[in-house]
Amino acid sequence: MNERRPSFAGQPAASETTDRMREAGDEAAVRAVDLPPGWDEAVRLEDDPATIPDPADVDLPDELRAEIERLMARYPDRHSATLPALAAAQRLHGWCSPEAMRQVAAVMQVTPAYLSAVATFYDMLRTQPTGSRYVYVCTSVACHLRNAKAVYDAIAAQASEQGLEDVEIREFECLGACDMAPMASVDGRYVGPLSTGDAPELVRALREDREVFPGRGLPDPGYRIRAAAEQPPGPPEEPDVHPAGGTWKEAELLDVPPAEGPAPHVRERLHPLDPGTSMPQEEHADEEEGE
Amino acid sequence: MSETRVLLANIDEPDLHTIAVYERLGGYQAARKALLDMEPEAVLHELEESGLRGRGGAGFSMGKKASFIPKGSMDKYLCCNADESEPGTFKDRLLMQKNPHMLVEGCIIGGIAAGANKGFIFIRGEYETQADILDAAVAEAYERGYLGKRILGSDHSFDLVVHRGQGAYICGEETGLLDALEGKRGNPRLKPPFPANQGLYQGPTLINNVETLCNAPLIISNGAAWYRQYGEGNSTGTKIVSVSGNVQRPGNYEVALGIPARELVYGLAGGPPEGREVKCWFPGGSSAPVLTKEHLDLPYTFEAMAEAGSMLGSGAIIVVDDSQPLVPLALRLAEFYRHESCGKCVPCREGTNWTVKMLERIDEGEGTPMDLDILEQVQGNIMGNCLCVLGDSMAMPVASMLKHFRTEFERHMEEARARRDLAELQPMGADELGSMAEAGAA
């Protein structure tokens, strides 16, 4: 995790650093290449630790300062405003960038390290610039039972197909809307139940900055969950291979005709055997020994 | 038998979230009564008498919890736990979205019982709509003088703040919630000291779930005896049950505790889709050990669920029908808890991680029968060995699935192994096989 630790002191731009590292044949450059600017260096032990920024040195918008000051006044202890303050900075910057953290730190008079310790704990605070808007697709237990993973995959595929930018699309843990399953939260507005067929329109609406599925959002007036008949069925059934008594014999199984496609949760590398290519058992054993 | 709507009595009223409609339907009368006509001790006594048990998961008596708050002039706090993140639970979302003033009134009454002058509603950050509605409701309540200094001319002052979390299941654990509210990572604390003695900002703190606090105005208005007419034994009152998963009519149903579980799953929620049967069900959110269809005739109470080896928890029933393979479900469940583990205690941090790895192995066809024994053992080593119950929340359902459906786990493992072995052979075309055979012959 060390390479992800932020360092705030004036450091060279990320591309320069990684280029230099790559030229030097440094292995770390390979790992660092996907990290955003400001986050790709290990802590430099020779530097002084980042201290509480002096408000005079930090340039920050007046609205953000006013908002954080309002938040701090709500609590007996100003530290309590950390979460809402970081959220406010994130709304402004799109993510909790080192710059955003420095601004919050200057107003709250805490160290940037304190803020990044907090920000990295919470799922909704982005410590990488993944997008200033979000689509959280719930794939937790109740949604899983209604095939939510397929909905997520469809949305993610559409997003890359249509070239959707600046939107963070991710699987999310239970969003507290299991009655709407499968569902997604689009910038805080819950929409559902969704099916894989909804993915193109959802992504299109996001790209064109329209409201996603008017009338199908939880806050919409008169919202009702559609009847079960219209809801997508559960995950596809397991391939119908049932060795009796929970045991199996390899020879018998090799004669079983292949099921149609892999099970939903099975990784790509699993492909049923084509009929007619089965091999004698001894050779199979040989091959295993060979490995 | 059907629903008994007490908390949800007015839920379909248009614009219930505005203070005008809420007041027209008798809202804030309970707060008025508690502030002006009753002593704080009487309020506390009434809550204790009602037998109301916490609706967040633990099921601890609310009145008793409030009575643990020491008397004295120190700063005391009320926290409403609205970080509803337990998979399967969505009752608080409905209450906050449709009837936010009921919660505000409940907080005022809770504040009186605890002697607290400052209250916080910790709502999960994902509930943006509901948090906005609550913010508006709190502002309205301030305007009408139900919140603030010397409410309605009484001696009691009460301030209420809506605090938004930023996405962490562990903040639903009461001490994790306190740390998050203090602006830290939401790590649970060692107990004791319990929050009632040393909670938020080291002061005595009463923490209650949204639904628990929403019951308070009803109890104060109608009396403890009225409340006790609902329910059975030590499970008094009504409960909003969130039914989800493989049912035809998922949703929130308010029932008197003691109703048969079958009535909830089949009668109200419509049961599994046509042609399918219940394989197992979680009676109290994803943390509760699963029960099988034989348990559906038990009365839905805290006691009966505990006797059957599970728990009523937050009152969320997730139904799993017989088309669902259990290993991927257990895996999804374990992945959830691995992601949400704060990492403070080793058994939970490592236990959830290794459970996921073992289930993945089983699912990918690399498991051996010994894995099931190790899996079982790991669950046993997590339970009861951490600061909070997050680890247990994974260990209990996974262990119960293994207990009830061990043969399915074994079969799944064997099938996955068979598929993997077949897959390893598949990439080789006939030519390769031929050349291999030649090599073997030579």
Return the pLDDT at A34. Answer: 54
- Residue B320 pLDDT > 60, yes or no? yes
Number of other residues whose CB lies within 10 A of the CB of residue B239: 28
Chain B residues closer than 8 Å to A241 by CB: 415, 418-419
- Residue B246 pLDDT > 60, yes or no? yes
Return the pLDDT at B357. Answer: 95
Q: How confident is the model at residue B312 (pLDDT cuts 50, 70, 90)?
A: very high
Q: How confident is the model at residue A242 (pLDDT cuts 50, 70, 90)?
A: very low
CA distance A229 to chain B (A): 8
Helices (H), B72-230: 91-98, 100-114, 128-143, 174-181, 210-222, 224-228
Q: Which of B415, B435, B436 to mutate to test the interface with A (most CBs of A within 10 A)?
A: B415
Q: What is the secondary structure of A133-149 as a DSSP string?
A: EEEEEE-SHHHHTTTHH
Chain A residues closer than 8 Å to B88 by CB: 141-142, 174, 178
Size of interface A-B (CB pairs under 8 A): 238
Same domain membership, residue A156 and residue A115 = no
Return the pLDDT at A39. Answer: 53
Q: Domain for residue A219, yes or no?
A: yes
- B441 alpha carbon, distance to own chain's centre: 65
> Given A84, A119, A154, which residue is the final one in a domain?
A119
Q: Which of B254, B424, B438 to mutate to test the interface with A (most CBs of A within 10 A)?
A: B424
- Residue B164 pLDDT > 90, yes or no? yes
Cα(B279)–Cα(A286) distance, integer angstroms: 42
The separation between the first and the last C-alpha atoms of chain B, rounded to the nearest angstrom, is 78
DSSP letter for B266, please: I
Vertex A43 angle, CA A40 and A47, to 5°: 125
Ranges for all domains in chain B classified under CATH 1.20.1440.230: 326-425
Q: Give the residue, B239 or A256, on which the prediction is more confident.
A: B239
Is A254:B341 a contact under the CB 8 Å cutoff? no
Q: Which residue of A has its CA nearest to B161?
A: A74
Same domain membership, residue A146 and residue A95 = no
Same domain membership, residue A225 and residue A141 = yes
CA distance B367 to chain A (A): 14
Is B118:B159 a contact under the CB 8 Å cutoff? yes
Q: Domain for residue A102, yes or no?
A: yes
Q: How confident is the model over A218-239, as a mean pLDDT?
A: 59
The sheet with strand B278-282 has its strands ordered as: B251-256, B238-245, B316-321, B278-282, B291-292
Q: Domain for residue A113, yes or no?
A: yes
Q: How confident is the model over B25-38, as a mean pLDDT?
A: 95
Q: How confident is the model at residue B404 (pLDDT cuts 50, 70, 90)?
A: very high
Same domain membership, residue A96 and residue A152 = no
Task: Please name the member of B323, B428, B430 whose beta carbon is closest to the beta carbon of A237.
Answer: B323
Q: Is B148 on the interface with A (CB under 8 A)?
A: no
Nearest alpha carbon to residue B186 among B152, B206, B162, B163:
B163
Q: Is B84 on the interface with A (CB under 8 A)?
A: yes
Q: How confident is the model at residue B435 (pLDDT cuts 50, 70, 90)?
A: low
Q: Which of A107, A173, A267, A286 to mutate to test the interface with B (most CBs of B within 10 A)?
A: A173
Is B291:B42 a contact under the CB 8 Å cutoff? no
Q: Which of A166-180, A229-243, B314-328, B363-377 comes out lowest in average pLDDT?
A: A229-243
Determine the angle formed by the axes of helices B128-143 and B91-98, rounding to 10 degrees: 40
Token digits of residue A263: 């099970």
Cα(B159)–Cα(B384) distance, integer angstroms: 37
- B438 alpha carbon, distance to own chain's centre: 63
Return the pLDDT at A37. Answer: 52
Q: How confident is the model over B300-315, as a mean pLDDT?
A: 93
Q: Give the residue, A269 or B14, on which the prediction is more confident.
A: B14
Q: Give the residue, A265 or A34, on which the prediction is more confident.
A: A34
Nearest alpha carbon to residue A262 among A254, A275, A273, A250:
A273
Is B191:B387 a contact under the CB 8 Å cutoff? yes
Return the pLDDT at A20. Answer: 62
Domain limits for position A145: 133-230
Return the pLDDT at A22. Answer: 62
Q: Which of A160-174, A221-235, B104-118, B422-436 comes out lowest in average pLDDT?
A: A221-235
Determine the angle formed by the axes of helices B346-363 and B326-340, rounding to 10 degrees: 150
Return the pLDDT at A221. Answer: 85
CA distance A140 to chain B (A): 7
Q: Domain for residue A259, yes or no?
A: no
Residue window 277-336, chain B: list those with CB within 8 Å of chain A. Answer: 282, 286, 316, 318, 320-321, 323-325, 328-329, 331-333, 336
Q: Which of A230-234, B5-9, B372-376 comes out lowest in average pLDDT?
A: A230-234
Q: What does pLDDT average to over chain B? A: 92
For B54-86, the pLDDT digits (tens) are 998 888 999 999 999 999 889 999 999 999 999
- Architecture field, domain B326-425: Up-down Bundle (1.20)
Question: Is there a cis peptide before residue B193, judged by omega within 30 degrees of 0?
Answer: yes
Return the pLDDT at B183. Answer: 95
> Given A95, A119, A143, which residue is the final one in a domain?
A119
Residue whose tokens read 């209450």? B95
- Residue B238 pLDDT > 60, yes or no? yes
Domain B19-229 grouped into CATH 3.40.50.11540: yes
> For domain B234-321, which CATH number applies: 2.30.40.10, 3.10.20.600, 3.40.50.720, 3.40.50.2000?
3.10.20.600
The sheet with strand A189-191 has its strands ordered as: A167-172, A133-138, A184-186, A189-191
% of chain B exceeding 70 in pLDDT: 96
User: How many residues can be counted in chain A?
Assistant: 291
CA distance B250 to chain A (A): 5
Return the pLDDT at A27. Answer: 59
Is A61:A106 a contact under the CB 8 Å cutoff? no
Return the pLDDT at A15. Answer: 52
CATH at A155: 3.40.30.10
For A254-286, the pLDDT digits (tens) are 444 444 444 444 334 333 333 443 344 444 444
User: How many residues can be counted in chain B?
Assistant: 442
Q: Give the residue, A275 or A144, on which the prediction is more confident.
A: A144
Chain A residues closer than 8 Å to B419 by CB: 239, 241, 262-263, 266, 270, 272
Ranges for all domains in chain B classified under CATH 3.10.20.600: 234-321
Contact B321 A79 (CB under 8 A): no
CA distance A281 to chain B (A): 11
- Residue A198 pLDDT > 90, yes or no? yes
Q: Domain for residue A23, yes or no?
A: no
Contact A79 B165 (CB under 8 A): no
Return the pLDDT at B340. Answer: 93
Contact A279 B425 (CB under 8 A): yes
**What domain count does chain A have?**
2
Q: Strand, coil or helix: what is B277? A: coil
Partners of residue B163 on adjacent β-strands = B122
For A62-108, the pLDDT digits (tens) are 999 999 999 999 999 999 999 999 999 999 999 999 999 999 999 99
For B376-395, the pLDDT digits (tens) are 999 999 999 999 999 999 99
Contact B168 A122 (CB under 8 A): yes
Q: How confident is the model at residue A222 (pLDDT cuts 50, 70, 90)?
A: confident
Return the pLDDT at B106. Answer: 96
Residue window 91-110, chain B: list those with CB within 8 Å of chain A. Answer: 92-93, 97
Chain B residues closer than 8 Å to A179 by CB: 90, 242, 244, 250-252
What is the torsion angle, in degrees rounded to the nearest 10, for the CA atoms of residue A154, residue A155, residue A157 and residue A163? 160
